[in-house]
Amino acid sequence: MSLRLIFMGTPDFAVPTLLELVAHGHEIVAVYTREAKPAGRGMKLQPTPVAREAERLGIPVLTPKTLRTEEAETQFRAFDADAAVVVAYGMILPQNILDAVPLGCFNLHGSLLPRWRGAAPLQRAIMADDAESGVMVMKMDVGLDTGDVAMAERLPITDSMTAMDLHDALAPLGADLMVRAMGALDRGGLQLVKQSEQGVEYAAKIDKAEARIDWSKPARAVLRHIHGLSPFPGAWCEADVEGEVVRLKILRCTLASGSGAPGDLLDDRLTIACGDGAIRILELQRAGKQAMKPDEFLRGTALKPPMRVG
């Protein structure tokens, strides 16, 4: 048996779920995604990653600006789907859309709800020094990630893990979880549990104003801040390089031995003192340049003690 599904998603994170649902025999009758946006040197319109995959698979693609019109509801209902699967779609589903499929709309969320409801759960989990993250399948309601939860998978967060690393680990894990959830839904055996109202945290959208590194914090907090914002928007600091103040985006680091005034460069391997302890940079990017490893960066940039970044 299989379900008739509407798939709603936009970024790379959603693609594995779409592909796994198709591979397991579910009929994807339509894909909803965000509109193409200009990108690249020529600023040509670029379809979303989900749109590209749907078009390759021959699935109809819709990019409505809103779902709050009667026309949008009529079009949604016309697909006669059993349920909808939503993965990082980027648009709020109003109640009439939630009610338009008989079995409901199911969201794959990148956190262990109720912790990190909201827009940036992966980044916030790393920045908050959480020991683990995960994915959950939730039956959607009109609240912000408040619906009943069906299934979950957990994943440890290590100190070496950036937001992109966590993204790349959770995407296939979530795809497998959603396939299992839709299989249970098809069999009539999907169990739903109400979310606890204890331990609720909101994962607010990342603001670029948060990105500047505060070297006065302990080394572990600095590391988690850097990794939580890598690769976008990227945690940054400034350094005086040969009389020019340059912005350095730090993409990856590790805890290191050493101490000094916060921001002091401690050696010629890009070890930097924090409020307690130190970190050593493993990957960084100068404004307008490609990301580099320290050895490559230092060949073209004089950065060594006694210097301070801020």
Q: What is the DSSP letter of 193?
A: B
In angstroms, the Cα distances linking 254 to 24, 224, 229, 269, 303 are 40, 10, 15, 12, 18
Bridge-partner residues for 240, per DSSP? Answer: 245
133 labelled ligand-binding = no
Task: Collapse the DSSP code of 272 into the 3-class scheme (helix H, G, I; strand E, B; otherwise coil) and give the result.
Answer: strand
Helix/strand/coil for 51: helix
Q: How far is the CA of 80 from the CAs of 1, 7, 26, in angstroms?
A: 17, 13, 14
Q: Closest by alpha carbon to 103, among 9, 22, 190?
A: 190
Residue 67: both structure tokens together: 């779902």
Pairing of strands 27-32, 61-62: parallel
Residue 264 pairs in a beta bridge with 308
Task: Write the DSSP string, 132-174.
Answer: EEEEEEEE--SSSS-SPEEEEEEEE--TT--HHHHHHHHHHHH
Tokens representing 253 are: 């680091």
Work out the angle at residue 204's Cα, subtended by the Cα atoms of residues 199 and 209, and round it to the nearest 5 degrees.
135
231 labelled ligand-binding: no
The amino acid present at 182, given as its one-letter code, is: M
Say whether 112 counts as a known binding-site residue: yes
Give binding residues as ranges: 111-114
Give binding residues for (6S)-5,6,7,8-tetrahydrofolate as ranges: 111-114
